[in-house]
Amino acid sequence: MPIKVFAFSVLVFFITLNFIHARCIHVGPQQEIRHLREAIYQAKNYDTIKVHHSLYKEGNIVINKKLYLIGIDYPILDGDFTYEVVSIKSDGVTLKGFRIQNSGIASMTEPCGIKIYDAKDVKIEENVLDNNFFAIYVQYGKHIQVTNNTIKAYGSEEQNIGNGIHCWKSDSLHIVHNTIIGQRDGIYFEFVTHSMVYGNISKNNIRYGLHFMFSNDNSYINNFFDSNGAGVAIMYTKNVLIYNNTFSMSVGDASYGILLKELSDVEITGNLFEFNTAALFLEGANRMVVNHNRFYSNGWGLKIQANCVDNVISENNFQNNTFDVSTNGSLVLNKFNANYWDKYEGYDLDHNGSGDVPYRPLSLFSIIIDNNPIAMLLYRSFMVNLLDKTEKLIPSITPEDFRDDQPKLKPYHL
């Protein structure tokens, strides 16, 4: 038998042996063991601890073994506004079915409802985290699954509350089907790679629904971001997929559906942007593909700064926005192609579905508004309408090349 095969067989044997000898320990007021910390102390790797419903105020609960902790009828782990409630310091831990509440509050030590320290293969599933400073914190984690948790906090100021799911210097995370309400940022990534954020609801958070920096090779799919203070911010990152999300109700002077700053090689496809002050704001964003999205009833559909290069904006629907597009420069280094613009007034004599004359989505009045916000008082006035129509016929200030040569006559079914 080859040495590698023999070594693997021995490894499987010992792992199987551990599972065979694993115990199930019950904790609760009517059980032989009444305290969770005592059960963890007595347990060995691969044991299961079933915690029956009760209120457990045991200070900081440290899990330093490969254990499965299962809550029965949502037992309550309470930090008494003093402690980090659960600290996971071992690989291979599962924590499922608990209500975890009232962590301490401290900006220096950042106490959490659940914090994972330098561990891998950890699962945090189906928990309710209520009124914690940071709810779930992953630090130096790898192959971590955070799924089907409900997170809620009640802070009114950024400095008094932490993030819902905070991930730092980690790899291969799955953040799936969580609901986050009322934290500083709903989901926060910094130096996180090869991870997926899928099917989450992040709303009514004080700052961002999603905020990530220096986090390459990640995907964000089928999430719902609603009524967050500043919307979503993605910065200093490359190789990102943003598919089929909803960005809604980010309203305010510095609020965006998504703010993209210093990014490259990003694909934004199939998303809905609705009722935002500015739906999509690009600054220093390069080599991006923006297609099959719907921009509906926003103040600005797309703000693209002059330092953005080689971006392709194609086959999107721009409908009922106050301004479809805005920019702060005259150099056009991006391409608009085959989008539907509800303000387009052209014609299609050859019946190929595309307009026979180009559409220039950049409104002269939008440029004026960027420099003089008070001018918004004149919006929808006769003079402004006349100014915009004249500019489209005889461009003098708006860039000549800022146009869609194949505007669609009918919206896409998105």
Position 13 pLDDT exceeds 50: no
Report all structural domains of the chain as residue ranges with CATH numbers, in order of start: 22-363 (2.160.20.10), 364-398 (no CATH)
Query: Rounded distance, CA 8 to CA 12, Å?
Result: 6
Q: Which amino acid is at 334?
A: N
**pLDDT value for 159:** 81
Position 288 pLDDT exceeds 80: yes
Q: What is the mean pLDDT of residues 1-20?
A: 49
pLDDT tens for 302-312 read: 999 989 999 99
Whole-number average pLDDT of the chain: 90
SS3 track for 318-361: EECCCEEEECCCCCCCCEEECCEECCCCCCCCCCCCECCCCECC
pLDDT tens for 358-411 read: 998 887 666 666 666 665 555 656 555 666 666 565 565 666 778 999 999 999
Query: Rounded distance, CA 48 to CA 37, Å?
Result: 14
Neighbours of 399 (CB within 10 A): 15
Q: What is the mean pLDDT of residues 189-209?
A: 98
pLDDT tens for 339-353 read: 999 999 889 998 899
**pLDDT value for 381:** 60
Q: What is the DSSP letter of 268?
A: E
**pLDDT value for 366:** 65
**pLDDT value for 382:** 56
**pLDDT value for 157:** 85
**pLDDT value for 83:** 96
Confidence of residue 253 (pLDDT cuts 50, 70, 90): confident
- C-alpha distances in angstroms, 405 versus 8, 111, 137, 315, 342? 62, 55, 48, 12, 15
pLDDT more than 70, % of the chain = 86
